Amino acid sequence: MFVPAIKGQGTEEQQKKWLPLAYKFQIIGCYAQTELGHGSNVQGLETTATFDPMTDEFVIHSPTLTSSKWWPGGLGKASTHAVVYARLITEGKDYGIHGFIVQLRSLEDHSPLPGVTLGDIGGKFGSGAYNSMDNGVLRFDHVRIPRDQMLMRLSQVTREGKYVQSDVPKQLLYGTMVYVRQSIVADASKALSRAVCIAVRYSAIRKQFGSQDGGPETQVLNYRTQQSRLFPLLASAYAFRFVGDWLNWLYTDVTQKLEVKDYSTLQEAHACTAGLKAVTTSATADAIEECRKLCGGHGYLNSSGLPELFAVYVPACTYEGDNVVLLLQVARILMKTVSQLTSGKQPVGTMAYMGKVQHLMQSKCAVKTAEDWLNPAFIQEAFEARALRMAVNCAQNIGQASNQEEGFYERSPDLLEAAVAHIQLIIVTKFIEKVHQDIPGHGVKEQLQNLCNVYALYTLHKHLGDFLATGSLTPKQGALANEQLGKLYAQVRPNAVALVDAFNYTDHYLGSVLGRYDGNVYPALYEEAWKDPLNETVVPEGYHEYLRPLLKQQLKLSRL
Ligand SMILES: CCCCCCCCCCCCCCC/C=C/C(=O)SCCNC(=O)CCNC(=O)[C@H](O)C(C)(C)COP(=O)(O)OP(=O)(O)OC[C@H]1O[C@@H](n2cnc3c(N)ncnc32)[C@H](O)[C@@H]1OP(=O)(O)O
Ligand SMILES: Cc1cc2nc3c(=O)[nH]c(=O)nc-3n(C[C@H](O)[C@H](O)[C@H](O)COP(=O)(O)OP(=O)(O)OC[C@H]3O[C@@H](n4cnc5c(N)ncnc54)[C@H](O)[C@@H]3O)c2cc1C
């Protein structure tokens, strides 16, 4: 994040100076924004950067305990430099949060520079690999940096100390976070596909109950409950991959537009990166835990690969923006869009469907049979109607409040659900668009169409309350969707293993005895057990000190 921050907020000159050093690992940088007292509320950060015209320097200082930088990855032990976000103060005025390049450690002996106190913040969730990341704490005691180490692409301070705001939206300060959020969506698909690959392969080899007259027991993958829990996760892995590809395109397109000072899609980029990051990471974190449960007791072994994957993955719901905070950002944009509908301003991009407000507010879903739910047009319209009606309902309720802001906070739980509905519509839309493309490979398109319908109808079934409450569906149509879902699971079943093999993960990368490509699980589980250090001695340490005296004492007592 150190590099994209300099690329996005540094001048050409600053990029020329600092990026080669970072690329060649002549310096190691981190992104020091979050503080002990503030993470979500960036504008509440307390670290100060006060311009001293006498020396043409900024004085970086941590005025309070809560202003200590806290969490930045790489900060504790590895980084020599940081992009530090601090309140810019010049001529006695506070101009809010800006980025500054600050050296933290000597390039000679890695010792902290004068005025810099830093270290690691301690162990994190479980024994997961994230403990290999030195998330750190950092305090400044009046550390001086040259004025040219303020990142000056978006705004400047002159030699005399005058603050100059460039003619660019101040939200570009948040550009690094937008960049990482879009990459996190692709990572959600990777993490989810790893978990699903393990769970599908293991479910194919695990047999439990169901043997007739001594025959083989039933593969758990054949149980409808296993399929109804597992196949939506398989479909989600593909859904998040395709929407992540599209989001990367959107981000690239917005970045190119920014180069020519076209800021027209900045809001769309913010809403989509924030919303998709929130929805895909929440779903993926829950799904990895579900995959553990789908593997029964063996899923709880570290050798299954699932506990580690879960421990490393779950902070994705928090870092790069707490998911609720990000969804409320989406909700704000939805409310703004709804308020503009009466002005005749046509919504664009992923909000364009809201322009069909007249139709969508009164449309009646035309589904009459379970098979009708295989028609993408019916799915698309149902999801559009649900999302729009939830947004309009929120706007109407907020409108009844005496104060817009008060109304927004009062209705924020409903707004959260409306934001999720909007983002799920985007995911469904992009999946439908993907399967409409020419897709190489015999039968591949049909399989992806099945998964697209599984993702859409499962999401509809899970959120049926929204569809019924908004009148977007009737209970009968909801029941038909569920009926079709069951038929789809039967179609996915024969290809389930092939659909996870398609992720093409090596056994090494998967790191799971349950997810081995050869399915040879039991010998692998048994062999793995003996690697446990506890098994280095047949008689456990502590027997003579603790167990033996206890056993002997009990034996004596029993003879009395
Ligand atoms: C084992 C396998 C698993 C693999 C998984 C792991 C893979 C790893 C890869 C990924 C790397 C992950 C590494 C983790 C590193 C983590 C780093 C961090 O966490 S960095 C810190 C992140 N912090 C945040 O995200 C803070 C969140 N808070 C905010 O962004 C802001 O405070 C806020 C947006 C919530 C509020 O900002 P504020 O200035 O108060 O603005 P307003 O809400 O008043 O909005 C004003 C206006 O601005 C618009 N806006 C806001 N943000 C943006 C933006 N980013 N872009 C464009 N526009 C923005 C907003 O819509 C408003 O617009 P308006 O028109 O005025 O209504
Ligand atoms: C593993 C990890 C790595 C990280 N790496 C970095 C890094 O490299 N650099 C960096 O700068 N930071 C980093 N962070 C910090 C991270 O960005 C913040 O923790 C994150 O942005 C959440 O902010 P917070 O901790 O202040 O949460 P809070 O906002 O305090 O969240 C607490 C609760 O308050 C709720 N809440 C907050 N505001 C509102 C609101 N307006 N309305 C409703 N509910 C609200 C939240 O939903 C949540 O339930 C990292 C964090 C983690 C866990």
The overall average pLDDT reported for the chain is: 96
Judged by its nearest atom, the ligand closest to the C-alpha of residue 78 is: 2
Q: Which pLDDT belongs to residue 170?
A: 87
The number of angstroms, rounded, from the C-alpha of 57 to the middle of its chain's C-alpha atoms is 38
Average pLDDT on 83-103 reads 98
Minimum CA distance residue for ligand 1 atom 49: 171
73 is in an annotated binding site: yes
Q: How far apart are the first and last CA of the chain?
A: 72
> Are the folds of 2-168 and 175-345+367-498 the same?
no
Please work out, in degrees rounded to the nearest 5, the angle formed at the alpha carbon of residue 371 by the alpha carbons of 365 and 376: 60
Residue with tokens 């990142």: 151
Q: Rounded CA gap, 488 and 196, in Å?
A: 18
Mutate to test the pocket of ligand 1, among 320, 334, 337, 415 (most ligand atoms within 8 A of CB): 320
> What is the arithmetic mean of pLDDT over 519-545?
95
pLDDT of residue 100: 98
CA atoms within 13 A on the CB side of 447: 19
Can you give the pTM of this predicted structure?
A: 0.96
Query: In Å, how far from its chain's centre is CA 368?
Result: 37
Q: What is the CATH number of domain 2-168?
A: 2.40.110.10
Of 363, 407, 414, 361, residue with least CA distance to 388: 361
Using a 6 Å cutoff on CB, does residue 168 contact ligand 1? no
Q: Is the pLDDT of residue 166 over 90?
A: no
Q: How far apart are CA 386 and CA 379, in angstroms?
A: 11
- Residues 6+ positions from 293 with CB-CB distance below 8 Å: 299
Reply yes or no on whether the pLDDT at 184 is more than 90.
yes
pLDDT at 130 (0 to 100): 83
| CA pair distance 9, 98, nearest whole angstrom | 9
Geometric angle at alpha carbon 482, from 479 and 487, rounded to 5°: 130
Return the best residue to mutate from 34, 68, 97, 138 for the ligand 2 pocket (most ligand atoms within 8 A of CB): 34
Torsion of CA 269, 273, 279, 280, to 10 degrees: 130
Q: Give me the pLDDT at residue 556, please.
A: 83
Q: How confident is the model at residue 425 (pLDDT cuts 50, 70, 90)?
A: very high
Q: Band the pLDDT of 206: cuts 50, 70, 90.
A: very high
Alpha carbon nearest to ligand 2 atom 49, residue: 324
Between CA 403 and CA 338 the distance in angstroms is 17
- Segment 11-28 mean pLDDT: 98
Ligand 1 close to Cβ of residue 171 (< 6 A): yes
Nearest CA to ligand 1 atom 18: 320
Q: Which atom of ligand 2 is nearest to the CA of 31?
A: 9
pLDDT tops 90 at residue 557: no
Q: Are strands 143-146 and 57-61 parallel, antiparallel or unpaired?
A: antiparallel
Say what the pLDDT of residue 338 is.
Answer: 96
Highest average pLDDT, of 68-72, 130-134, 358-362, 402-406, comes from 68-72
* Ligand 2 atom closest to the CA of 38, numbered from 1: 26
Most confident of 205-214, 380-389, 539-548: 380-389
Q: Among all chains, which residue has been given the structure tokens 């047009």? A: 377
Cβ of 329 less than 6 Å from ligand 1: yes
Q: Are 514 and 305 in contact (CB under 8 A)?
A: yes
Beta-carbon contacts of 352 under 8 Å, excluding residues fewer than 6 positions away, are: 346
Contacts for 255 with CB less than 8 Å, ≥ 6 apart? none
> How many Cα neighbours within 13 Å face the side chain of 20?
5
* Residues 19-40, mean pLDDT to the nearest whole number: 98
Domain boundaries defined on the chain: 2-168, 175-345+367-498
Indicate if the pLDDT at residue 128 is higher than 80. no
Q: To the nearest whole percent, how much of the chain has pLDDT over 90?
A: 92
Q: Give me the active site residues, please.
A: 320
- The answer to whether the Cα torsion of 150, 68, 325, 95 is positive or negative is negative
Q: Which ligand is nearest to the CA of 128?
A: 1
The pLDDT of residue 36: 98
Using the mean position of ligand 1's atoms as its centre, give its distance from the Cα of residue 36 in Å: 17
Ligand nearest to the CA of 510: 1
Residue identified by tokens 């024994």 is: 127
Is 297 annotated among the ligand-binding residues? no
Closest atom of ligand 1 to CA, residue 181: 10
Chain centroid offset of residue 366 CA: 35
Distance 119 CA to ligand 2 centre (A): 20
**pLDDT tens track for 307-351:** 999 999 999 999 999 999 999 999 999 999 999 998 888 999 999
Quote the ligand 1 centre to 151 CA distance (angstroms).
Answer: 19
Residues counted in the chain: 560
What is the average pLDDT across 226-251? Answer: 98
Res. 553: pLDDT tops 90? no
Distance from Cα 331 to the centre of ligand 1, integer Å:
14
What amino acid occupies position 91?
A: E
Distance (Å) from CA 284 to ligand 1 centroid: 20
Which protein residue's CA is at the shortest distance from atom 17 of ligand 2?
319
Task: Please name the CATH architecture into which domain 175-345+367-498 falls.
Answer: Up-down Bundle (1.20)
- What's the confidence (pLDDT) of residue 343? 86
pLDDT, one tens digit per residue, over 447-496 is 999 999 999 999 999 999 999 999 999 999 999 999 999 999 999 999 99
**Per-residue CA distances from 121 to 62, 69, 72, 220 (Å):** 17, 10, 10, 43
For residue 274, the ligand 1 atom closest to its alpha carbon is 55
pLDDT above 80 for 506: yes
Distance (angstroms) between ligand 1 centre and the Cα of 269 equals 11
Atom of ligand 1 nearest to the CA of 336: 67
Lowest mean pLDDT across 124-133, 337-346, 373-382, 512-521: 124-133
pLDDT band at 555 (very low <50, low <70, confident <90, very high): confident
CA distance 163 to 310: 46
Tell me if 150 sits within 8 A of 100, measured CB to CB.
Answer: yes
Three-state DSSP at 383 gives: helix
Given pLDDT bands bounded at 50, 70 and 90, which one contains residue 211? confident
For residue 558, the model assigns a pLDDT of: 82
Q: List, in sequence order, every residue forming a beta bridge with 119; answer none if it has no partner.
A: 137
Q: Nearest residue CA, atom 25 of ligand 2? A: 39
